[in-house]
Amino acid sequence: MKGVCIMSGEHLVGTVLDGRYEILEVIGVGGMATVYKARCKILNRFVAIKVLKDSLNNDEECLKRFLSESRSTAKLSHHNIVGIYDVGEESGMNYIVMELVDGITLKEYISMKGVLDWKEASHIAVQIGLALQCAHENNIVHRDIKPHNILITKDNTIKVADFGIARAVTSDTMVTGKETMGSVRYISPEQARGGYVDGRSDIYSLGVVLYEMLTGKVPFDGENPVSIAMMKLNEAPISCRMLSPDIPYKIEEITMRAISKEQHLRYQSAIDMVSDLNSVVEEIALEDESETHYIGRRNSKKKKESNRRRIIAVAVVIAILMGIGVYSFMRRGVKQVEVPELVGMTLEEAVLFVSESGLEIDEENVKYEQSDEFEEDIIMHQEPGINQYMNPKKKIKVTISSGKGVVDIPVPSLVGKAYEDAIEELKELELKAERIDEYSETVELGKIIKQSPTKGVKVTAGSSILLHVSKGAEEKKIVPSLVGETIENAKKLVAEAGLKINIRERESTSKVGRVISQSPESAELLKEGDVIDVVVGVEPEIENTPTPTPENSPSPSDVTPSPSTNPVTTPTTPPRRKVLSVQIPEDSPESVLIKVVANGKQIYERRHNKSEVTVDIPVEARNDATVQVYIDGVFMFERVIDF
């Protein structure tokens, strides 16, 4: 019997999807989905699970785009493409199970190095090109090739990810119209104007990526997406050799051909571009080698063998150089969050919008500038820009349009004043106010917590000032005691406390339909709307089996008790065995000492290599067992195992 399961796609750590995927941690947050690291309990391997955000599950267009990623990529099988393993839906959540890539994005790698050596850049571009060739042969256009969607593994393999906006190519002309997806810095001119899109559009994007690796810059950049798109349509890109003279002429020719405005002037297939890149790398490698080695080998057989070795040596050097850079950067371990597009929003809208992604606007440094293009009070520029990634501890800087008026009114200091008084003061200066209400432990109800822009910033008449107004101290909610309650009573108690409940299931022979454990514990204080995680017992789907008896030994049922056996002290059931899976942390030393204590008694102590990743430890008991796990003497977790 399956119990009721209510899950949130954005709060899944510690849950098990479909009875198979144990969610371990969040590894990425994007505009449409949250990506988790998980362990497949059946195949005992780590995977990545992309779960569509709760707010978008009812959006038919977003759901269609999300599911298209699985349908498109599932057709592809290539070592340079992130693989899709499974697609599922549980309790209204849609998710995709993917290959877990242990690495960093190409965008992060470029940010670290600034400019890549042309050989290394060519090596990366070749692998991207091979992935695109595979996709195009399967009638799939990626449409969003950019460094953010390209991963570099620890062994220097390139993996193209996120086919979320890819579509199957039909014999009909494909026109995107207003739906210009992806980052405008990388999309082709035909995508920017809503024209015919095919594999050559991906080749253009690959050319932009190669250009950026070689120079540290993209061919076209500007204040906003509209201006960048217009440059793509009307201007010629600067030659990459003008920015980086060390680039070989032939590499420049390949790059500039790939980013030709007209589709018929570009490479007509990804494999053609790959072939040219490989030829240049081999040709220059042989030329360099000939300058430092004597000439005179006349035996053609020996010459071919020598050339082959030289090419392999060049490849090895490139791999080593990449490995050093990637590994040193990966040691930072900072999780990045994708930056949403804020241009076109008001400051109030932007503040509320980014909070959903765990980001913040740098309200203390908001800038105002005159603009003929953007209306007054509309964000006209942001840093970082759309589709870039940033540390969530940092803040997004924005520039707001002051319209065509004169920027000459200094903003007064309003912090600490009553909202009504602040409104009157702004009216006298011909300024308006936007309001956001939020709780504060230090500022009285109805008074200003902070303002944007801050005191002294000059704006035009009619500009809006964003005021954060105190709702007073937030009332704390007491966590009710739920352990032992039926699931119906638990839901009722949680609702009455003004909190939410997230239910997980665990097999139990004695606590079916009742709460086994809860987190946080009872009597703790939470904010209104916070979530309590509970574990509810459900009937086992498979009967537990008794501990195997030695060969040639009678089973417990075959043993006839002797008359002298005391029926009170003889166990009526044999001990049962279950397996406890212990994951070795990634930052552990090469070997660790794992110790397990069950019901106060140590049952396991053994040293394991870090490479084992997960250790399965048998636990035997006749009744429920509370186990504690220690690694190298450090307490890791406690768990109740039902028998």
d(CA 8, CA 356): 15
Catalytic, out of 18, 144, 221, 377: 144
d(CA 353, CA 341): 10
Nearest to 106 by CA among 85, 125, 132, 89: 125
d(CA 166, CA 604): 50
**Phi, psi values for residue 56, rounded to 5°:** -110, -5
d(CA 3, CA 15): 14
Strands (E), 284-371: 337-338, 367-369
3-state secondary structure 506-552: EECCCCECEEEEEECCCCCEEECCCEEEEEEEECCCCCCCECCCCCC
Q: Is 272 a catalytic residue?
A: no
What contacts 134, CB < 8 A, 6 or more positions away? 76, 77, 78, 80, 81
d(CA 222, CA 197): 24
How many other CB atoms sit within 10 Å of the CB of residue 572? 7
Taken in order 223, 226, 230, 232, is the CA torsion positive or negative?
A: positive
Q: Which helix (H) or strand (E) holds 492?
A: helix 487-496
Look-up: residue for tokens 């765990």?
Answer: 358
Q: How many CA atoms lie less than 13 Å away from 132 in the CB half-sphere?
A: 32
Q: Is residue 162 within 8 Å of residue 73, measured between CB atoms?
A: no
**Phi, psi values for residue 525, rounded to 5°:** -105, 135
Exposure string for 318-343, b = 16+ CB within 10 A, e = fewer: beebbeebbeebbeeeeebbbbbbbb
Strands (E), 316-391: 337-338, 367-369, 379-383, 389-390
Catalytic annotation, residues: 144
